Structure 1
Amino acid sequence: MMKKKKILFFIYQMGAGGAARTLLNIVNKMDRDRFTPILVTLDYNGSYESYLEPDVKFIKLETKRLRSAIVPLSKVIRREEADIVFSTIPNYNTIAILGTMLSQSGAKNVVREAAFLGGTPAADFKLKLYGLLYRRASRVIALSHGVKENIVKRYKVKPGKIDVIYNPVDVETIQDLMKTENMRPEHQQIFQKEDKVLITAGRLVEDKDHHTLIRAFANLNKRLFNTRLAILGEGELEQELKQLAADLGVGDRVHFLGFQENPYVYFHHADLFVLSSKREGFGHVLAEALATGTPVVSTKSRPGAIEVLDHGEYGEMCEVGNERQLEEKMLKLLSMDQENLRQIATKGIERANEFHAEKIAKEYEEMFVKTSNRTK
């Protein structure tokens, strides 16, 4: 019988972000006959911790500072006799690689790169520094083919060291959660009116380009008076975006609903999901929206959104920052008859299943086995 591989997953905290959600899906879906997952975080409480399977060994380092985590992480790697140390996001990958080196344990690093970054000389220089460390890792995981191209170009990592594995989407859990009624009473009122409700979800930061979305919605609202826009998420631009909505005369029709642990019930009750991002490494929220059967409009935010929606095969797409195109695409879907919308919903769910968590977990498992067996 093959000895089980010990996979140590390292992340800052099991918080509300996409990286934590990805780790949660991989850890929970791993074949326990072949692997023993160990999760290590800094000393924080994260909202996804309660969703971990009870058999997952969960270790919190006694520090809240990332830079202070190298030595304690190295001790855990050595003590747990990890075969592989898996991490995601450049800063955490750096700590994971340095911790593994210090452990002198023989564990191999697998780093996951989610972002599509670079472009300025300063950013490109920083990515080359990350690349120096990435070249010490056994494997690099890109969550889309576009991200892989970026890692090769800007991180200077050889293509043969990089595997493309899409984000896992827990379709059944999403479809269970979307049918619950745990929406706050004041939020329910938004969805119970006769109005058409558009929804988006993401941090209120520059990259998500809510400015373009709000301007496009304001124009749409002049043509379809019975529309509302619900925005899920928190961030530094909240007050600025609220002011923009007010200035455009739609302050009473744009609803800022904050972070929601179960966004899927909101997606399910909305008429349309809209993503206005400037760039997306994968566009995980698009795949989740598809899983709820909600029609989708997205910008051609490279590289991920284009891959998730397959160049518009599974949702309407427009150019980044083009509020007129975004308005027209939203109007097109909101004007469709119910039969066409049902067909779109069915097709979207089929697409979401191509990123099914169990399928993606299997791809990670095979990569872990090959990496573990490969000599450096």
Structure 2
Amino acid sequence: MKVLHVLYSRIYTGAEKVAAQIIKAFEGRVDMAYCSLECEEVWDILDGMGIRHYGVEELTPATLGRVIREYRPDVIHAHDMRTSFVAALCCGRIPLISHIHNNAYDARGLSAKSVAYLLAGFRAKHIFWVSNSAYEGYVFHRLFAKKSSVLYNIIDAKRIFAMRDSDEHTYDFDMIYLGRLTYQKDPQRLMRLSAALKARKPDIKVAVVGAGELEGEAKALCEELGLQDNVHFLGFQSNPIKMVADSKAMILTSRWEGTPMCALEAMALGTPVVSTPSDGMKDLIENGVDGYLSDEDAVLAEDILKIVEDPDHRELLSENAAKKFARINDEQKYNDTILACYRQWGGTQ
């Protein structure tokens, strides 16, 4: 069996990590390939993982069609709504699996995106949703109830620990942000929160790992708030895992989420997560037990300071986070679910 994973991106973060992880999980059992927009940084990561990849300058029915004709997949696994729409236009008789990784704000009501995804939803043989909120958030979700299931993200824990151990550097950050700098992630709020923390702890050190269309705006606000000595913009990092492990806390300021891979990575490493209560995070974090959730910046700042300034409290949260991760991260069940879907629609070869 051959499966083509398709993504509409030039980055390597949440959905991209999920696709690569699935490919690696079935290495030697199912032939899989990765297709996305051209990006040398992503290709370097995939080459290091031994993953076959196809790049296109723009993802259109014509460009994806050429990849499909070359690779000849038995199943197309399209990640997120826009990709699923393009795949639906050119998949022909090839079974389409759609995988939705977040509760997209612009598909919760009548919009071009929600209407366009109707085509993908009708063409798809099955739809995986990363959380109940992602499924219920889509305005037309009831139309696809019989072909939908919730599949919470997991991570390859052994690989995460190996990535941590391969980095011999020591990092000294109080707080780390790991992700794209986009509207969804609200990096401006991250800057305002950092300013509130600096007012209480003048030497607070914050790592911002990632890039995106709001990077310039975030940096400008950082300078305006006088945070140049506190906030360190590190850009895209191919292996930020040791930074996460060495940080006292991870922060998420997202407007909406699915089940963030970075939060799972932090929990595996015992790094407490402090987050806005966005969608999948409410399923992942138990407030005050293994991390913190709040939609108030003052409360978020207070919670972060508890972690940063109280080693015993930090250790308790760390232990609880690691225990929860071990309980919820069922790699075998996840992989069995994916494989059963592939076999149902693509055959058993």
Matched, 1:236 2:213: yes
Flag structure 2 segments of 5+ consecutive residues without an equivalent: none
Deviations 1:274-318 (A, max 9, x none): 1111111222211111111111111101x1211222566531110
Whether 1:205 and 2:182 are equivalent positions in the alignment is yes
Structure 1 distance, partners of 2:86, 2:113, is 15
Work out which of the two has the higher radius of gyration on C-alpha atoms and give 1 or 2.
1
Structure 1 runs not aligned, ≥5 long = none
Q: Secondary structure at the match of 1:48?
A: helix
State the SS of the aligned residue for 2:123: coil
Secondary structure (helix, strand or coil) at the match of 2:290 reads coil
Per-residue deviation, residues 327-354 of structure 1 (Å, max 9, x unmatched): 111122223343x433322222233332
Name the counterpart of 1:329: 303
2:257 alignment counterpart = 280
Distance 1:290 1:112, change over 3 A: same
Corresponding residue pairs, total: 344
Residue identity in the other structure for 2:284: V
Q: Is 2:341 the partner of 1:341? A: no
CA contact (8 A) 1:14 1:48 kept: no
Q: Per the alignment, do residues 371 and 315 of structure 1 end up closer, same or farther by CA in structure 2, a change over 3 Å counting?
A: farther
Look up the match of 2:134: 147
With normalisation by structure 2, the TM-score equals 0.87
User: Which residue type is aligned with residue 327 of structure 1?
Assistant: A
Percent identical pairs in the alignment equals: 23
Cα gap change, 1:250 to 1:59, in 2 (>3 Å): closer
1:18 counterpart letter in structure 2: G
Distance 1:323 1:7 in 2: 44
TM-score under structure 1 length normalisation = 0.81
The aligned residue for residue 161 of structure 2 is 175
Superposition pairs for residues 126-145 of structure 1, below 5 Å? 126-145=113-132
For residue 114 of structure 1, what is the aligned residue in structure 2?
Answer: 101
What are the within-5 Å matches in structure 2 for residues 1-376 of structure 1? 5-12=1-8, 15-30=11-26, 32-33=28-29, 35-41=30-36, 45=40, 46-53=43-50, 58=52, 60=54, 63-67=56-60, 68-76=62-70, 80=72, 82-101=73-92, 104=93, 107-118=94-105, 124-151=111-138, 153-154=139-140, 157-181=143-167, 183=169, 191=172, 197-301=174-278, 303-310=279-286, 313-319=289-295, 322-338=296-312, 340-353=313-326, 354-372=328-346
Q: Judging changes above 3 Å, is the alpha-carbon distance between structure 1 residues 357 and 24 closer, same or farther for their aligned structure 2 residues? A: farther
Structure 1 contact 14–47 (Cα < 8 Å) conserved:
no
Q: CA RMSD in A?
A: 2.8
Structure 2 letter corresponding to 1:160: K
| Counterpart-to-counterpart distance in 2, 1:306 and 1:123 | 26
- Please say if residues 69 and 95 of structure 1, whose CA atoms lie closer than 8 Å, have aligned partners that are also in contact: no
